[in-house]
Amino acid sequence: MYDKISMPTYEYRCQKCKEVFEIFHSIATLVTKCPHCGGRLDRLITPNAGLIFKGTGFYQTDYKRKSDGNGNGSKRTKDKVEKEKKIEKVKEENKTNKKE
């Protein structure tokens, strides 16, 4: 009826045999009997439930960038700064050459 991949995982502990196990089922399904001994079950709260990353991948650009200290939030390396300085220098030289 349901695909196991699309079902939530619930963790249970039997009150009688103390067995701990996981069961995949829909949220509407009520599980009350231990499949091992038939005892009563307690559903456990697990800290890792509910967060699944799906997709082709995750990239550095998906996250907030570290601030470079100037408050603009961009991450600039020394090489990038050097390259920007060279570009500005060439632009200034081109302006000077055009005036002459």
Residue 13 has pLDDT above 60, yes or no: yes
Reported as half-sphere exposure (CB side, CA atoms, 13 A), residue 90 has a value of 6
Query: What are the start-end ranges of the E strands in the chain?
Result: 9-14, 20-24, 41-44
Q: Where are the domains of the chain?
A: 4-49+76-99
pLDDT (tens digit, 9 = 90+) per residue, 36-49? Answer: 999 999 999 876 55
What value does the mean pLDDT take over residues 56-67? Answer: 61
Asked whether the beta carbons of 21 and 12 are under 8 A apart, the reply is yes
pLDDT (tens digit, 9 = 90+) per residue, 72-91? Answer: 555 557 778 888 888 888 88
Tell me the C-alpha to C-alpha distance, in Å, between residue 71 and each of 26, 38, 62, 65, 74: 47, 62, 19, 11, 8
Using alpha carbons, select from 20, 61, 9 the residue that is nearest to residue 42: 20
Name the pTM for this structure: 0.42
